[in-house]
Homo-oligomer: A and B are copies of this chain.
Amino acid sequence: MLFHDKFQLRIPGPTPIPPQVQMALTQPMIGHRSTTASTLIETCSEGLKHIFGTQESPLILTSSGTAALEAAAINALMPGDEAIVIVTGAFGDRFAKILKRYQIKVHRLEIPWGHACDPHQIQTFLEAHPQASAVFMTYCETSTGVLNPISLLARTIRQQSDALIIVDAVSCLGAVPSLVDQWGIDIMVSGSQKALMLPPGLAFVTVSQRAWPIIEQNPTPRFYLDLHAYRKQLENQTTPYTPALNLLFGLEAALTQIETEGLPQVFTRHQTLKRMTRAGLEAIGFELMTSERDASPTVTSVSGHKQAIHTEQLRSLLKEMHVHVAGGQQHMKGKIFRIGHMGYCDGFDILTTLAAIEMALTKMGITIELGSSIRTAQEVWIHA
């Protein structure tokens, strides 16, 4: 009943690629200093402005998202500086690790995994660490499916501090609202392989007017990750080093897709995908890791089942049905599973995933009514 190489990629990134984007990847190669390349880079940066919600031109790096996190850290801070990192999961932890590697003094605001950071928490923490030159936070924490209320957090921080506000938006940008300028975010980082529906290999960085002088005066040595070089070259509609041109063609196509659907519609779709997933899973006895309020529209983490089940056994049965969901990271390994529902994903993809999960549970000897989670999700969809 399965086609041998047909599968459902329902991990929280990389995510499936739409056919138009796939085809765009095959455009004939061009010179990276040609006018075609300049137009392409300009178009992509302009399109990204809309997604990030900024008047500043987003910088485009050829790298994984992690390189852009590092770029944010080493351009904004220097050894000996103090930084606050709001750690809500594995990617907040990665920010802290990068900073520590560069001898930056890190104050970790630890939030229990599965919960978002509350503005009161950062307020108190900032009072205890008034010397912090920057606050790092994660918009969507991929490891738990938490969406932090970054606009509220940013407002709270700005009321009491001049610290730079630096946000990792890798696993949600393009699926949730972002108003970088209005919210006062100084640096926001994202990647290509999540809600932007591209293969991995590109990362994006916005920098506020406020942050540039700090970056330009920062003596920390860096070359490939020197954001100033990207800014300078972007003014000439180019990049300092040969960019991943075929991914830029893909980005252009992905931005067109998003524009065609309409950004508000994209956000609504992701909200509905989240609600369908959550309602469907709860209907068949699953316990979710995050509250409705704290949950991201891009990824849902499942912490358990009313009848204690072995998460990895479930994942492996799903894999036999060619449905790929992710496990937990760090101390959550083997304890949770995560379903990605961002980017090129619609309601039917959720119904398919729920169908597979129902069948897997049945194979595991858990008594559920087949079709019941699907029905619940359909009801959410039909009333959305």
Contacts and interface: CB of A to CB of B under 8 A. Distances in A.
Interface string A39-56: 000000000000000000
Contacts of A13: 242
Interface residues of A, number: 51
A191 B225 CA distance: 18
Main secondary structure of the interface of A (DSSP, over half): loop
B17 A31 contact: no
Contact of A25 (B11, B70, B79, B246): B246
A297 to B, nearest CB: 20
A247 interface: yes
A384 interface: no
A221 interface: yes
Nearest to A67: B224
Given A26-B22, A29-B199, A102-B221, A64 B9 contact: no
Interface string A144-185: 000000000000000000000000000000000000000000
A348 interface: no
Contacts of A23: 26
Interface of A: 7, 9, 11, 13-17, 22-23, 25-26, 28-32, 34, 62-67, 70, 79, 97-98, 101-103, 191, 193, 199-201, 221-225, 240-247, 324, 326
